[in-house]
Amino acid sequence: MDQKTSDLIDELYCKLSPLLFRFAIFMLGDISIAEEAIQETFIIACINAKKLKASPNPEGWIVNTHKNVCLNIQKSRNRYLQKMFSLDDADHLLPYTEPAFEGNDDLSKYVSSEDFLILRKLILEGYSHKDLAEELNISIDACKKKFQRAKQRFRKNFQQ
């Protein structure tokens, strides 16, 4: 990247970062993720420097890119939640303000070890209610109820 392009990106960063930060906080609800969104926006600007320079409105290009970055982060966070807990009614979670999961270890903050075992086996490992009920030595109906309650506790704790 030439010096002129680097100076343009630096100038845009200094000028737009407060606005972009406020927008990302509003969209994502988390300071650290908002900062990452800004960094990702300017990484994209560096990668697509020719398009940025060719744009008649470089500030608008950055703002639109940032909006798309925030939307993509929000969508991927919600997809992960839906995948984790097979939420049919996940629309009420948009947008949520908790940090994104880095891995399964983070779930211990939201559910007990017994709930985590049930959720992990049924959702991630693909156990059937019958298989899990046999493993836990309980009835299938009891297994379904434990699963339902574990999901409810997770939702409640996660949304706080």
pLDDT tens string 68-119: 999 888 888 777 777 766 545 444 444 444 444 444 445 667 778 888 888 8
* All domains of the chain in start order, with CATH: 3-87 (1.10.1740), 104-158 (1.10.10)
Whether the per-residue pLDDT at 11 is higher than 80: the answer is yes
Task: State the Cα–Cα distance between residues 41 and 157, nearest whole angstrom.
Answer: 31
Retrieve residue 13's tokens. Answer: 């960063």
Assess contact for 10 and 58: CB atoms under 8 A: no
Residue 44, both tokens: 């994209």
Asked if residue 15 has pLDDT above 80, the reply is yes
Enter the pTM of the model: 0.51
Which pLDDT value is given to residue 94? 45
CB–CB of 50/25 below 8 Å? Answer: no
Report the share of the chain in percent with pLDDT over 70.
82
Q: Token pair for residue 90?
A: 């996940």
Average pLDDT, rounded, for the chain:
80
Please give the pLDDT value at position 86: 56
pLDDT in tens, 139-157: 989 988 988 888 888 878 7
Sequence-distant contacts of 100-105: CB under 8 A, at least 24 apart: 100/33, 100/73, 100/76
State mean pLDDT over 125-136: 86
In angstroms, the CA 96 to CA 88 distance is 16
Least confident of 25-39, 103-117, 122-136: 103-117
Q: Would you state the pLDDT for residue 125?
A: 77
| Residue 154: closest CA among 94, 95, 93 | 93
User: How far, in whole angstroms, is CA 141 from its chain's centroid?
Assistant: 33
